Amino acid sequence: MPKKIVTFWTFFCVLFVAAQKPYKQNLMLMGSSFDITVVAKDSVEGEGYIQLAASEIERIERLISSWDKNSQTSLINKNAGILPVKVDKELFQLIERSLKISKLTDGAFDISYASMDKIWKFDGSMTEMPSVNKIKESVSKVGYKNIILNTKESSVFLTQKGMKIGFGAIGKGYAADKAKELLIKEGARSGIVNASGDMNTWGDQPNGEPWKVAITNPLDKKKAFALLPIANSAVVTSGNYEKFVKFNGKRYSHIIDPRTGYPSSGIISVTVFAPKSELADALATSVFVMGKEVGLNRINQLPNIECVIVDENGDLSTSDNIKIDKL
């Protein structure tokens, strides 16, 4: 190719990229705040992409919501201990992946957590801890091993009456993944879907630099420990610095261990980097429940997964393969 044509083509590409701008909207979806950012040539294209993402997230909510009495998830819960329920392949596979994460985390992650009695209150109304017997009873119907899948029939059966499943610890991450997947398919070259801390990115910023995420100091949210680049991957941060109770000087998180009924303690913030938000979402919750040492050990055994933990003393710990240059 002649040099002049190469030069013109380079100039055209640079001009094209420079013409792209980020367009962002904040939307209330799935009962949470979603920030959707796309890089597009103009506001019409940008807003069109954002509406596509919003419609996809609303579709996911209709599929997995346990509040919607007409959803397949509600039908599974309604028939607990009675009979298996045939579901769409998409929901079946989400439940199947959830059970694999439960096995991976020794039950620290468990979608049957929805069966727990709500005996812990994090609105300031609790004055004493629940009794040992009450806590034990609260998780009597929880147990991922009692979720029976039939691949041939694409059916889900909860073996105990009163059992329920819910996707509060994985649903927003899954929705972010599906919105990203759709936008890429529709031609959006770059963007971020941020589902209340469940963030998934693709492409680069208009200036060619990667998207970046701040590791915030949960004890002082105006400050950040570090700013890290994320390229075509997901990052999820879970924290208990706003929802917790204290008894006898010990801080208890709103994130409850589904195996014991006791709230997690010792950690105030977990950030997980993973290829998909769904996995990062589930693992962030799991690390809270498992604790710092066990959580980091488990993360270090997983390929392409990294983790940053801030404990209740404000100390920062990381998995083996992530290096942070503090700000």
Specify if 16 maps to a domain.
Answer: no
List the domain range (segments joined by +) for residue 83: 72-158
Clarify whether residues 216 and 291 are in a common domain: yes
Q: From 139, 158, 177, give the residue that closes a domain.
A: 158
Q: From 134, 158, 182, give the residue that closes a domain.
A: 158
CATH value at residue 309: 3.10.520.10
Specify if 167 maps to a domain.
Answer: no
**What's the total number of domains in the chain?**
2
- The Cα–Cα gap between 248 and 17 comes to 58
* Contact between 68 and 74 (Cβ < 8 Å): yes
Clarify whether residues 244 and 315 are in a common domain: yes
Mention every residue, 6+ apart, whose C-beta is less than 8 A from residue 247.
Answer: 128, 129
Question: Exposure string (b/e) for 214-227, b if CB count within 10 Å is 16 or more?
Answer: ebbbbeeeeeebbe
Clarify whether residues 137 and 224 are in a common domain: no
Specify if 12 maps to a domain.
Answer: no
- Report in angstroms the alpha-carbon separations of 37 from 50, 98, 161, 194, 215: 7, 28, 43, 8, 20
CATH value at residue 101: 1.10.3980.10
Specify if 65 maps to a domain.
Answer: no
Specify if 29 maps to a domain.
Answer: no
Clarify whether residues 146 and 247 are in a common domain: no
Query: Is-above-0.95 flag for pTM?
Result: no
Specify if 115 maps to a domain.
Answer: yes
Give the pLDDT of the chain (327 residues) as one tens digit per residue: 444 444 444 433 444 444 689 999 999 999 999 999 999 999 999 999 999 999 999 999 999 998 888 899 999 999 999 999 999 999 999 999 999 999 999 999 999 999 999 899 888 888 889 999 999 999 999 999 999 999 999 999 999 999 999 999 899 999 999 999 999 999 999 999 999 888 999 999 998 999 988 877 777 767 777 788 888 899 998 887 778 888 888 888 889 999 999 998 889 899 999 999 999 999 999 999 999 999 999 999 999 999 999 998 888 899 998 877 655
Clarify whether residues 219 and 326 are in a common domain: yes
Clarify whether residues 233 and 131 are in a common domain: no
Specify if 56 maps to a domain.
Answer: no
Clarify whether residues 327 and 214 are in a common domain: yes
Clarify whether residues 263 and 324 are in a common domain: yes
- The Cα–Cα gap between 99 and 11 comes to 51
Strand arrangement of the beta sheet that strand 147-150 belongs to: 85-86, 155-158, 147-150
Q: From 124, 158, 192, give the residue that closes a domain.
A: 158
